[in-house]
Amino acid sequence: MFISSKKKLDPKSWNIDKSWTLFLDRDGVINERIMGGYVRTSEEFITLPGAVESIAGLSDVFGLVFVVTNQQGIAKGLMTESNLQEIHRSLTESVHSLGGRLAKCYYAPGIAGPENHLRKPKPGMALLAQRQHKMVVFSRSVMVGDSDSDIVFGKNLGMKTVRIRTVEAIKVEADLTLESLAEFYNFFES
């Protein structure tokens, strides 16, 4: 059972400003997720309604915006890093064309396993972002994702967490649950 996001909490109460960082999962948050499959090409990368506009707007709210995405389809040979980089280049350009900025798209190309420290819920991508961008402070960060691994990733690092609803069963509650990234952005528009 979900509690209405408006009744649960307003993220404005988190006092977010330009010193904060936004981490975004990709599939299911920014673009349509292929359940049981992988977005392998630019043609299969279909953005969700209002997602790109929301990223552009949120880049005016947050000091830095990153994408952090598990992409084991690379290790499985279903796509190449070049395919993935083209998708991320196109996304970054789309956000930029709307006056926004996406600092970087981090990805974990390896197979899921205990030794894979980049893959969420392990902290590798966030730690890499922090090493490359000194202003990243996890207690002043928000993770937006649609899976338990996204929420655990954020919680383990001390971030605020926002879940975008999905068909998957939820075992880990986020600080806030919403229908879309656009709904999250709407809190900051006024």
d(CA 42, CA 79): 11
Domain total for the chain?
Answer: 1
User: Does 1 map to a domain?
Assistant: no
Question: pTM of the entire structure?
Answer: 0.93
* 5 domain residue, yes or no: no
Catalytic residue, chosen from 10, 17, 27, 146, is 27
Instruction: Please write the tens of the pLDDT for every residue from 7-25.
Output: 457 888 999 999 999 999 9
Query: Is 25 among the residues known to form the active site?
Result: yes
- Residue 36 forms part of a structural domain: no
Is 175 designated active site?
no
**Of 32, 23, 30, which Cα lies nearest the Cα of 64?**
23
Neighbours of 112 (CB within 10 A): 13
Q: Kindly state whether residue 156 falls inside one of the protein's structural domains.
A: yes
In a domain, 160, yes or no: yes
**CATH number of the structural domain spanning residue 183:** 3.40.50.1000
| Residue at 127 is within a domain | yes
Q: Write down the catalytic residue from 25, 148, 150, 175.
A: 25
What is the C-alpha separation between 29 and 47, in angstroms, rounded? Answer: 9
Burial pattern 21-38, b for ≥16 Cβ within 10 A else e, equals: bbbbbbbbbbbebeeeeb
Answer whether residue 98 is part of any domain. Answer: yes
DSSP state of 127: H
pLDDT at 115: 82
Domain residues for the domain of 120 are: 48-165+176-189
Task: Express each pLDDT in 89-118 by its tens digit.
Answer: 999 999 999 999 999 999 999 988 888 899
